[in-house]
Chains A and B, each alone.
Chain A
Amino acid sequence: MLYSEKVMDHFANPRNVGEISDADGIGEVGNAKCGDIMKMYIKVENGIISDCKFKTFGCGAAIATSSAATDMIIGKTIDEALKLTNKKVVEALDGLPPQKLHCSVLAEQAMKSAIADYYKRQGVDPLPLVGEIGECAACH
């Protein structure tokens, strides 16, 4: 199993680690039993994700995908952010070993779950906008 240089860079120097105390949306996915938990915080201003931070318990790929995903949605509108797929995160990292692809799925789900939480706080039903956020298939 080999990680790309980009994965190693995001792992060694993760971007946007931490919490946002006055976050507008918080999402948490994964579970400790599987060895991966991602928690993402977003700050939304005028429909734009002005800040995004994360905390991750997990392997090198889990940390790198969290870091890359947060980097990719900061400054984007919510609609643009929702178009971020796990595949795009994997591409941005120059690939992931096959058994680590589920980490990129978690990163996508964490981001979507934070946006869903934002909608809920706004009194908007997130389901039609964000869709169903399933469990990671690799965990079951």
Chain B
Amino acid sequence: MEKRFVYADNAATTQVSKPVLEAMLPYMTEHYGNPSSIYSMGRKAKRDIENARLKIAETLGCGASEIYFTSGGSEADNWAIRSCVLSMAEKGKKHIITTAFEHHAVLHTCEYLAKQGFEITYLPVSENGLITAGQVKDAIRSDTALVTVMYANNEIGTILPIPEIAGVCNEKKVIFHTDAVQAVGNVGINVKEQGIDMLSLSGHKIHAPKGVGALYVRRGISLPNLIFGGAQERNRRAGTENVPAIIGLAEAVSSACADIPGKVRKVTAMRDRLIDGILPVECSRLNGGRDNRLPGNVNISFLGVEGESLLLLLDMNGICVSSGSACTSGSLDPSHVLLALGMPHEVAHGSLRLSISDETTDEDVDYIIEVIPKVISRIREMSPLWEDIINGEKDMDSLLKWVSPVRKMVNQ
């Protein structure tokens, strides 16, 4: 098959879509007024960002005044979690519940709060990448200030039972935040119906540009100032609004959520074809269950293979993927998400994440299925670890039990 370019890293970022770009462009060259200016060009910018806020609010099922624009998902996560420092610590509530496999924007903020005297409970994740509402219920204490659980995991694509978890928190009157960066556009979200108190979303995962996101905060929850200065974002986040990006975000959120069932059907079929096409590679495993999984996410580990060299070889074949999370590149440790599943380091090192979108074609899927086994063979041929595995010389049972069987029996 001829070499082609396949972008299969949509969980890292996405291409800005044409409708989003077209919606944004006039705000750079024609309607460039400052929303705080009182002449007509400023008033237009103000009106249009408020319409954008309303559009997002309507999509999420909340009021426009409950949406705050941010620079992205990480800022929204930081803001939401840090909000409880002032409001809750005063009431003596200094306990936060989260999970072991959250995004670093959540985990590192929790670590920061731990240094400020908060106690953090990290709920363990099951081998198939889920947590239950029961776990949350059991962990809630009288001094619990906040529960923060991601809607869908960025690496292994598992979708968590957020309405049930939110229900438990509502019942116990504990504020519930969810990082929905990966879920928006893939799962139907209605914050009021689902009992969500705070929700983070990001633009660039859903075909808006980088550098824009939003935080939903239910009316009645106190949200401290993030940036002091002007009166933007209801006095809580000063700084002239990024008008074109906000316009783009609204367009992206509403189009991502316009036909979720249709998109899920189409993308899931391709995802399953990818999984079924790759898993026959011996000594591999799918990370995260097939059920409750984002339609575009494939995460597979290959024993005897190191993820970075796999990623580089796939890049040479025109295929863009991640190994673990792109956010963790630069660190030598395997992904904290895979380790949270209980997987040994050795298996986690050989992980590959493909994240496809509705732009991915059947030809792209065929190409990936053709290239991956060849690249795996090439890496394994030069891997002393693989040599030990197929020769059965060392005791590898603790690793082999995680993956599909070795097919070749060299010594027979």
Q: How far is the CB of A71 from chain B (nearest CB, A)?
A: 15
A 87-135 contacts with B by CB, 8 A: 99, 102
Out of B306, B308, B382, B399, which one reaches A14, CB within 8 Å?
A: B382
CB of B135 closer than 8 Å to a CB of A: no
| 1/0 contact string of A14-37 vs chain B (CB within 8 Å) | 100110000000001000111111
CA distance A36 to B333 in the complex (A): 12
Residue of A nearest to B346 (CB): A32
Residue of B nearest to A103 (CB): B332
CB of B349 closer than 8 Å to a CB of A: yes
Residue of A nearest to B387 (CB): A55
A57-B345 contact, Cβ under 8 Å, with A11-B309, A35-B334, A63-B309:
no
Q: Are A55 and B384 in contact (CB under 8 A)?
A: yes
Q: Are B384 and A57 in contact (CB under 8 A)?
A: yes
Q: Are B385 and A59 in contact (CB under 8 A)?
A: no
CA distance A99 to B330 in the complex (A): 7
CB of B386 closer than 8 Å to a CB of A: yes
CA distance A37 to B384 in the complex (A): 7
Find chain B residues with CB under 8 A from A34 CB.
332, 345
CB of A69 closer than 8 Å to a CB of B: no
Residue of B nearest to A63 (CB): B309
CB of B329 closer than 8 Å to a CB of A: yes
Q: How far is the CB of A23 from chain B (nearest CB, A)?
A: 13
Q: Are B384 and A35 in contact (CB under 8 A)?
A: no
A28-B384 contact, Cβ under 8 Å, with A33-B344, A34-B332:
yes
CA distance A119 to B198 in the complex (A): 66
- Interface residue tally on B, bucketed by range: 20 to 34
B 285-337 contacts with A by CB, 8 A: 304-309, 312, 316, 329-332, 334
Q: How far is the CB of A96 from chain B (nearest CB, A)?
A: 13
Find chain B residues with CB under 8 A from A59 CB.
306-309
Q: How far is the CB of A52 from chain B (nearest CB, A)?
A: 14
Find chain B residues with CB under 8 A from A17 CB.
381-382
CA distance A33 to B331 in the complex (A): 14
- A35-B306, A39-B387 are known; give 8 further A-B pairs, CB within 8 A: A17-B382, A18-B382, A32-B385, A35-B346, A37-B385, A56-B383, A56-B384, A57-B304
Q: Which residues of A contact B (CB under 8 A)?
A: 1, 8, 11-12, 14, 17-18, 28, 32-39, 54-60, 62-63, 99, 102, 138
CB-CB nearest 10 A-B residue pairs = A59-B308, A39-B384, A57-B383, A57-B385, A32-B346, A35-B349, A55-B384, A33-B345, A60-B312, A17-B382
Provide a sorted-by-A list of 30 A–B residue pairs whose CB atoms are within 8 angstroms: A1-B330, A8-B312, A11-B309, A14-B382, A17-B381, A18-B382, A32-B349, A32-B385, A32-B399, A33-B346, A34-B345, A35-B334, A35-B345, A35-B349, A37-B383, A37-B385, A39-B387, A55-B384, A56-B383, A56-B384, A57-B304, A57-B383, A57-B385, A57-B386, A59-B307, A60-B308, A60-B312, A63-B382, A99-B331, A99-B332
